[in-house]
Structure 1
Amino acid sequence: MNDSHDAIILGAGAAGLMCALTAAQRGRRVALVDHAEAVGKKILISGGGRCNFTNLETVPERFLSANRHFHKSALSRYTQGDFIAMVERHRIPYHEKTLGQLFCDDSAKRIVRMLLDECRAGPGSVDIRLSHRITDVAHADAAFRVTTDKGSLSAPALVVATGGPSIPKMGATGFAYDLARRFGLTIVDPRPALVPLTARPDDLALMRPLSGVSLDAVAACGKTAFRENILFTHRGLSGPAILQISSYWQPGGAITLDLLPGTDATAFLLDRKASRPKAGMKSVLSEILPSRLAQALADGPFPGEAMAAMPDKALRKAGDALNRWRFEPAGTEGYAKAEVTAGGVDTRGLSSQTMETRDVPGLFFIGESVDVTGWLGGYNFQWAWSSGWSAGQAL
């Protein structure tokens, strides 16, 4: 095979595939290199195998970055509507599940097949090289040379789309960060995001018996709050609301949980004291909470044989705890359970329009490797499509 190309893209995931097809449709000859044996592996496992490929409500405010303006350009130039149009052009049936989240009706394989078909649709070409382990990346005489265990490639442009270290069982590493540092870029400290939170030993005593219990709740950290389900686990808390707030939580901090959103728990308990004075706390709490949670609370922090025997002060304290439960996580379940990685290549070293590095012409970073992290629900895929398209337009 010819080892000379217009561009080399490292990483055949969502961002890399999008960049490759965009460049090929502009007539460029692209080499797409990945250590995995198949393209789009994270696409295939996402959304329970149905791929939550974008979100109808994608707006810049739903992304985290040290530079809150950086991602606006790419997201506005290639929107969720543009990707949806591609999906519809390929006649892939999809549906909105909840909160603007779009999923394939059948299989995520349809999205991967669409991207590969688009790679073949242009006047250019995409040379896909899988199971290639990269051993060296060099830059000299305005050209990049990528050496792998199966040969070397050269091109005047190099795009890094290898993602972050989340889900290491898929082969994810910090390769992009190491490469960025070699070329003089700085890294915003990476951390697991959209990840379950672990509990301290004192809280585990309450939570372990509740493993598997789920309920609608509001999880808040500072001024940011999400209302979705939370899930008790044998290690702490998970569920959509917890995954969302985990991106905002910092070690040593706390989150607040409203276990009864829309209900004044204190007023409810005082009312039941008057209307059901002989009822026990478990019976009363079971009206508004899952039975196992009601039992755990009645056995633990909210004891009391009958409502009539409980002082109003104790009921107010219990009600306040139900609406404003303070949870201080011990930590997170780490990259192994994180949906994405927050932090990454510092955007100050990149062009927001092209994703090209400011000091090394021809070098680009896209997708999860960059310090841009979206909410749960298709936002991170949209960032992959938008940043990949932006780089592809510049090749």
Structure 2
Amino acid sequence: MKNEIVIIGGGASALMLASLLPKNSITIIESHTKLGAKILISGGGKCNITNRVMGSEYYVGESKFVQRVLRAFNEKALLKWLGFHNLKPLLRKENQYFCPHSSKELLDIFLKESRSQKVLLHEKVLSVSKKGDLFTVVTDKRKLSATYVVVASGGLSFPKLGASAVGYEVAQSFGHMIRRTSPGLVGFTVQKEQFFFKELSGISTEVEIRVAGKSCNGSLLFAHKGLSGPAVLDASLYWEKGKIEIDFVPNFDWRSIQKSKKQLSSLLPLPKRVTKAFLVQFNLDDKSGVKVTTDELLLLKQLNHYSFAPAGTFGYAKAEVTKGGVSTEDVECSTMMSKKINGLYFTGEVLDVTGHLGGYNFQWAFSSAYVCAKSLEKYL
């Protein structure tokens, strides 16, 4: 079966690409039973599409590569494209754009725009090879030939939605380097010394987390397994192993403590249960501020730099994205085409580019798809 373009994957990047390219030019191969499954569940079912504050500094990856791709199709261009299709995302949480009602609104646009393209669902790609000018794509159900192949298969997170390593395997088969993969935007499990965190499950507080020379600000959520919340998820992008440092009381003026008759559990800018848990750890009583000694104050100030080593992460099943992937060194940022194999493209999460929480990964999926589409249009 001869195809002009075969796209491996049926997620955000693949669907954007299929929406931008000419009708009847594409065959999408998706291992899941439906397209855009991850879109539907993202952002609590409302899909955080993009962010008003955009830039390569919000990504882990080769900065110049990311910058050039984002510049080709930035958040303003994306919002304009969505507006043209009668979807006007709402601004929430200061800078994050979400679907007005549900993720289905975004998915419906993609399904409508790509309805003329051929779709093969519940079908796994086994191998991709090239002979002459044609690629051969072998699945568990058929064999296809194509002039161009786009690997938009995503990463390893959400295995229940059909995530697999197929994109990395295809890239490796053509000589591409794969940067070590690991769960990203994911919670931390804790070691015995921090098991008291689990007893605080469900409580959140504003923190600053310092890891690998980076600083992540936002909410921390104590969870049954350890720590989660936006600040923790962003910090997971930079943590490999070893210690992290958390400031549980950022910008707190400690001079106010010893001038007050209030109890410490009321004085510290933390939920009372959290303060009391730390007092137990520091072997301190919940006393009035005026009774706190200089040595006790020094113990309390550990809250500004509470250091510990996570035991690990919640894993791919809970991770929103995958860190690492196909190295961008061998991919042309102006086309998304492989520098090694003519006609082979990579877009979205399969690449070694990972964004912070807040719509950055969807923007990357759409921007890289746009760049890829502009390149392929020249050949069609």
Fold equivalence (TM over 0.5): yes
Asked if residue 72 in structure 1 is aligned to residue 60 in structure 2, the reply is: no
Q: Deviations over 1:106-163 (max 9, x none)?
A: 111110111122225xxxx511121222233221121111122332221111000111
Paired residue secondary structure (2:63)? coil
Asked if residue 268 in structure 1 is aligned to residue 256 in structure 2, the reply is: yes
Deviation at residue 188 of structure 1 after TM alignment? 0.8
CA contact (8 A) 1:19 1:389 kept: yes
Paired residue secondary structure (1:212)? coil
CA contact (8 A) 1:32 1:126 kept: yes
Note the aligned Cα RMSD (angstroms): 1.7
In 1, Cα distance between equivalents of 2:326 and 2:320: 18
Specify which of 272, 280, 293 is matched with residue 311 of structure 1: 293
In 1, Cα distance between equivalents of 2:126 and 2:341: 21
Paired residue secondary structure (1:227)? strand
Percent identity among equivalent residues? 35
Paired residue secondary structure (1:71)? helix
Aligned equivalent of 2:82: 87
Deviation at residue 211 of structure 1 after TM alignment? 1.0
In 2, Cα distance between equivalents of 1:132 and 1:169: 15
Within-5 A mapping of 1:266-305: 266-272=254-260, 276=261, 280-285=263-268, 288-304=269-285
In 1, Cα distance between equivalents of 2:267 and 2:60: 41
In 1, Cα distance between equivalents of 2:296 and 2:89: 50
Paired residue secondary structure (1:7)? strand
Aligned equivalent of 1:386: 367
Paired residue secondary structure (1:157)? strand
In 1, Cα distance between equivalents of 2:286 and 2:361: 49
CA contact (8 A) 1:282 1:297 kept: no
In 2, Cα distance between equivalents of 1:243 and 1:268: 32
Specify which of 187, 197, 200 is matched with residue 196 of structure 1: 187
Within-5 A mapping of 1:80-229: 80-120=75-115, 125-204=116-195, 206-229=196-219
Aligned equivalent of 2:340: 359
Q: Deviations over 1:175-202 (max 9, x none)?
A: 1111111111111111111110111111
CA contact (8 A) 2:88 2:100 kept: yes
Query: One-letter code of the match for 1:130?
Result: L
When structure 1 is superposed on structure 2, of 144-153 and 170-179 the one drifting more is 144-153
Paired residue secondary structure (2:282)? coil
When structure 1 is superposed on structure 2, of 328-337 and 370-379 the one drifting more is 328-337
Deviation at residue 262 of structure 1 after TM alignment? 2.4
Aligned equivalent of 2:32: 36
Asked if residue 256 in structure 1 is aligned to residue 249 in structure 2, the reply is: no
In 1, Cα distance between equivalents of 2:203 and 2:307: 18
Deviation at residue 28 of structure 1 after TM alignment? 6.5
CA contact (8 A) 1:281 1:302 kept: no
In 2, Cα distance between equivalents of 1:29 and 1:305: 69
Deviation at residue 324 of structure 1 after TM alignment? 1.7
Change (3 A) 1:292 1:8: same
Query: One-letter code of the match for 2:8?
Result: L
CA contact (8 A) 1:349 1:357 kept: yes
CA contact (8 A) 1:231 1:238 kept: yes
Asked if residue 61 in structure 1 is aligned to residue 57 in structure 2, the reply is: yes
Aligned equivalent of 2:355: 374
Deviation at residue 222 of structure 1 after TM alignment? 4.0
Paired residue secondary structure (2:235)? helix
Q: Give the structure-2-normalised TM-score.
A: 0.94
Aligned equivalent of 2:20: 22
In 2, Cα distance between equivalents of 1:305 and 1:240: 30
* Runs of 5+ consecutive residues of structure 2 not aligned to the other structure: none
Aligned equivalent of 2:3: 5
CA contact (8 A) 1:219 1:241 kept: yes
In 2, Cα distance between equivalents of 1:305 and 1:333: 33
CA contact (8 A) 2:241 2:309 kept: no
* Runs of 5+ consecutive residues of structure 1 not aligned to the other structure: none
Q: Give the structure-1-normalised TM-score.
A: 0.91
Paired residue secondary structure (1:70)? helix
Change (3 A) 1:280 1:302: farther
CA contact (8 A) 2:79 2:88 kept: no
In 2, Cα distance between equivalents of 1:197 and 1:76: 33
In 1, Cα distance between equivalents of 2:93 and 2:292: 41
